[in-house]
Amino acid sequence: MIWPWTKDEVHEPSTTKEAINAAVYWELEKRLTHYSSSGVWISGNYDPQAWEPKFAKVEAEIARIRAWVTTLPKGVERDSYTSWLDYHYEWGIKDAREELLTQKQKRHMDEVNSNSRRVSEKMKSLTISKPPL
């Protein structure tokens, strides 16, 4: 297949490292929920007691999957599972817990919203010349 805007050839998925990595990701997405600071912020729920049971459930499933992963032969598939579990799911939970404690993203977004409102109010009060109708 060739993308018309680039004229670059795009190869169909195969058993390349990238294809295996993508397949592993989609398999894990069926089984695990990814949490992050953004998810906490979007929910507006900063009650750790509401989140900890969810985190614990995913962490238990991560541990179960990780135990199974160790039975796979060393190679691309095993490395891919390990990477997704480490860097996507476990770090996501760590990031979400940090947001619950620090509310860093919430404070940042509150500041962005405040600045946007301030700019919007200034723009409303501007008087500009208008073209004739």
**Is residue 97 one of the residues assigned to a domain?**
yes
pLDDT single digits (tens) 23-49: 999 999 999 999 999 999 999 999 999
pLDDT single digits (tens) 102-117: 999 999 999 999 999 9
**Is residue 121 one of the residues assigned to a domain?**
no
**Reported pTM:** 0.74
Local confidence band at 1 (pLDDT 50, 70, 90 cut-offs): very low
**Is residue 11 one of the residues assigned to a domain?**
no
Least confident span in 1-10, 24-33, 52-61: 1-10
Question: Domain range for residue 26?
Answer: 17-104
**Is residue 132 one of the residues assigned to a domain?**
no
The answer to whether 32 and 58 have CB atoms below 8 angstroms apart is yes
Longest dimension (CA), the chain: 77
Please state, in angstroms and as integers, the Cα–Cα distance from residue 116 to each residue in 108, 109, 122, 128, following that order. 12, 10, 10, 20
Q: What percent of the chain has pLDDT over 90?
A: 74
pLDDT single digits (tens) 73-106: 999 999 999 999 999 999 999 999 999 999 999 9
**Residue type at position 96:** A
The answer to whether 51 and 107 have CB atoms below 8 angstroms apart is no
**Is residue 59 one of the residues assigned to a domain?**
yes
**Is residue 91 one of the residues assigned to a domain?**
yes
How many distinct structural domains can be found in the chain? Answer: 1
